[in-house]
Structure 1
Amino acid sequence: MAAPVPPHRDGEPLTGTPVLVLGGSGYLGRHICSAFAAAGAHVVRVSRGGARGADGDGCASVRLDLSAAGPAELARLCADTRARVLVNASGAVWAGGEPEMTALNSALVDRLVRAVAGLPDRPRLIHLGSAYEYAPAEPGTSVGEDWPTTPTTVYGRTKLSGSRAVLRAAAESDVDGTVLRVAVACGPGAPVTSLAGAVAERLAAGAGELRLAPLRSHRDLVDVRDVADAVLAAAAAPAGAVTGGVVNVGSGRAVPVRDLVDLMISLSALPVRVVEDPARHRARSDAAWQRLDIGRARSLLGWAPRRTLRESLRDLLTAAGVPCPAPRAATPGAPLNSHGKDSR
């Protein structure tokens, strides 16, 4: 007979808690799985390509095409793993077309909440939404959870549809669900579909020139490991604090993306020229400004980002195979520029 599953009680350590992570082999999902495993949870990651068995980080894996899984199959998965915490880190991003984004960001979440609502012993559902679910904001604005949700992109609209499904289930079906709206994640393993990931790949290949779309926007950049910490905080928070609510997860700062690229080049110490090419303008209609108000995360989850952008980008470059020499000590009394380098 299987050992009894320890119930997950609000505010208690996660040791021994069965945790199921959908999209566990993706960028966010990998870090979330590792963080739960480090906290002593029993983690099962679910992904299309994952093989059954234990992985190197101590997590077990289940292979499942989530885009095709129905409510009954998802409910059976929750029951078989005896999940007390269910994290939905799956989804399609910018590189996916509209059908894929609709299937994974919206339709899957509809089926997932129906599956959870029908379970006799429901896990806490933590859904990873996106800052792109919000309407565009004017420069200088901090976007709180009450900001209008009228996104201007297909990605934002499909992510909003999934988030609304979770919030609706919490209101109508007593599902213990919450939405974490995540800013732009960066750090080790960032995908090449992201700006930071693409720059890291080019630097690792020894490119002497980076030809990029115009770098005019500002983004709220948060380390992927800080995102994982926020998920753990949401898993351990009292239900009354998070159920049926939205919590922003970001750095609370707006970083010019040109500064992001310049800092990566500075950290690599490589002689690289940046060319902003208008011909490479992307079809996405991204907002020019993004900065999240993370006060609710501080007050409800006791969470705040711990890693600096410099640390995040250095670890990203190192993971991508780009050596980052130790920074040269500043000359006493010399002014420092925005990246902390001696500017003389």
Structure 2
Amino acid sequence: MPAQHRILVTGASGFVGTWLMRTLRDFPVDSSVEVLSAGRDPGCDCELDVTDKAVITAALRDFRPTAVVHLAAIAAPQEARKDPSQAWHVNFQGTMNLASAVLHDAPDCRFIFAGSSEAYGQSFAEISGGAVSEDCALKPMTIYGATKAAADIAVGQMYFDGLRSIRFRPFNHTGPGQTEAYVIPAFASQIARIEAGVAPPVIEVGNLGAHRDFLDVRDVVRAYALAALGDDIEVEGKVFNLASGKAVEIRSILNTLIRLSGREIEVVVSPERVRPVDIPMARGDAGAALSILGWEPQFALEDTIAAVLSDWRARVDATA
């Protein structure tokens, strides 16, 4: 019996992609699911560069997906800031290449776009600490946020051309496997090295006063899986925030990690870790995801923080 669901995941070898692949393969559905990992990593089922239109077209025609989950991106804001041209080429033009190919070569395929809460930018400040909803203006303040906002708008417009699109704007998410380019693993990796005795008891930090809305990556990919495997056409053309609705101070996350370590650790602010543009508070309203998709976060933040620390302890032990 042929697979009833054929899901193509771009950026499948990345942090979020790896978790999504696991989730899709274990997701409880009545029909069969075939998942194709696509990306630039040799370990992927399909080598795919989203900036190469011919390769995209061939992959769609060969696999004939019922849904594409588009995760491939220059995902670290610092990396996007260092090379804006590449960030625009991958995050915007790559998304346009893929969405256009789906529209023309696989018109029955659902297109799920992983955007970013960074697209809201200045809107966070304008609502004075309130939770942004999907109808808040996109006013990005970073290169990364701008590339994601532009792609988000383009994918939304293409729905009216016939693209069966669903857009997500996830807020900060973390979990085991994430790199040190993000705040929680940046703290956890330093603490793990201190615990292992390979680094002095000093941790370098950026702005600890910012408040952010954090999620577990496993909650985020569950939303993508719901969209990829669902059959309710009412969700198509819509955009969904993925958020907890709670803003947590970065300092409290660091304090939790230090408490979990049981060590006396000196905290030092490093200029290299302070972002040039920083929003004091960012939190989201995910009411639409709950009412339409039935999605809400399931992982407690402290459990996620502990899982990240355990992951980094294992990584440091493996290299010691």
TM-score, normalised with respect to structure 2: 0.88
Displacement of 1:41 in angstroms is 2.4
Displacement of 1:120 in angstroms is 4.7
Q: Does 1:62 align with 2:59?
A: no
Equivalents in 2 of 1:283, 1:255: separation in Å? Answer: 18
Farther-moved stretch of structure 1 (131-140 vs 300-309): 131-140
Displacement of 1:150 in angstroms is 1.2
Q: What is the aligned partner in structure 2 of residue 43 from structure 1?
A: 35
Q: What is the aligned partner in structure 2 of residue 86 from structure 1?
A: 68
Q: Does 1:32 align with 2:15?
A: no
Q: What is the aligned partner in structure 2 of residue 189 from structure 1?
A: 177
Q: Which runs of 5+ in 1 are unaligned?
A: 7-16, 53-60, 324-344
Q: Check 1:268–1:79 CA distance in 2 against 1; reply closer, same or farther (3 A cut).
A: farther
Q: Does 1:309 align with 2:292?
A: no
Displacement of 1:65 in angstroms is 2.8
Q: What is the aligned partner in structure 2 of residue 95 from structure 1?
A: 78
Equivalents in 1 of 2:21, 2:91: separation in Å? Answer: 20
Q: What is the aligned partner in structure 2 of residue 160 from structure 1?
A: 149
Could you say what secondary structure the match of 2:254 adopts? helix
Could you say what secondary structure the match of 2:69 adopts? strand
Q: What is the aligned partner in structure 2 of residue 257 from structure 1?
A: 250
Equivalents in 1 of 2:88, 2:63: separation in Å? Answer: 27
Equivalents in 2 of 1:120, 1:316: separation in Å? Answer: 38
Displacement of 1:203 in angstroms is 1.4
TM-score, normalised with respect to structure 1: 0.82
Displacement of 1:114 in angstroms is 1.1
Displacement of 1:152 in angstroms is 1.1
Equivalents in 2 of 1:65, 1:95: separation in Å? Answer: 21
Displacement of 1:303 in angstroms is 0.4
User: Are 2:107 and 2:163, in contact at CA under 8 Å, matched by a contact in 1?
Assistant: no
Kindly name which structure, 1 or 2, has the bigger radius of gyration based on alpha carbons: 1
Could you say what secondary structure the match of 2:141 adopts? coil
Q: Check 1:275–1:154 CA distance in 2 against 1; reply closer, same or farther (3 A cut).
A: same
Q: What is the aligned partner in structure 1 of residue 159 from structure 2?
A: 170
Match of 1:144 among 117, 133, 150: 133
Q: Does 1:215 align with 2:201?
A: no
Could you say what secondary structure the match of 1:188 adopts? coil
**Total equivalences in the alignment:** 299
Displacement of 1:238 in angstroms is 4.2
Q: Does 1:132 align with 2:115?
A: no
The superposition leaves residues 112-135 of structure 1 with CA deviations (integer Å, 9 ceiling, x where unpaired) of: 111011125531111000000013
More helix by share: 2
Could you say what secondary structure the match of 2:313 adopts? coil
User: Are 1:178 and 1:246, in contact at CA under 8 Å, matched by a contact in 2?
Assistant: yes
Could you say what secondary structure the match of 2:22 adopts? helix
Could you say what secondary structure the match of 2:303 adopts? helix
Match of 1:270 among 257, 263, 267: 263
CA-based RMSD of the aligned residues comes to 1.8
Q: What is the aligned partner in structure 1 of residue 318 from structure 2?
A: none
Displacement of 1:204 in angstroms is 1.8
Letter in 2 for 1:103: H
User: Are 1:209 and 1:274, in contact at CA under 8 Å, matched by a contact in 2?
Assistant: yes
Equivalents in 2 of 1:184, 1:156: separation in Å? Answer: 13
Could you say what secondary structure the match of 1:118 adopts? helix
Equivalents in 1 of 2:252, 2:111: separation in Å? Answer: 36
Match of 1:241 among 217, 234, 239: 234
Could you say what secondary structure the match of 1:148 adopts? coil
After TM superposition, which residue ranges in structure 1, 4 or more long, deviate above 6 angstroms? none
Q: Which runs of 5+ in 2 are unaligned?
A: 316-320
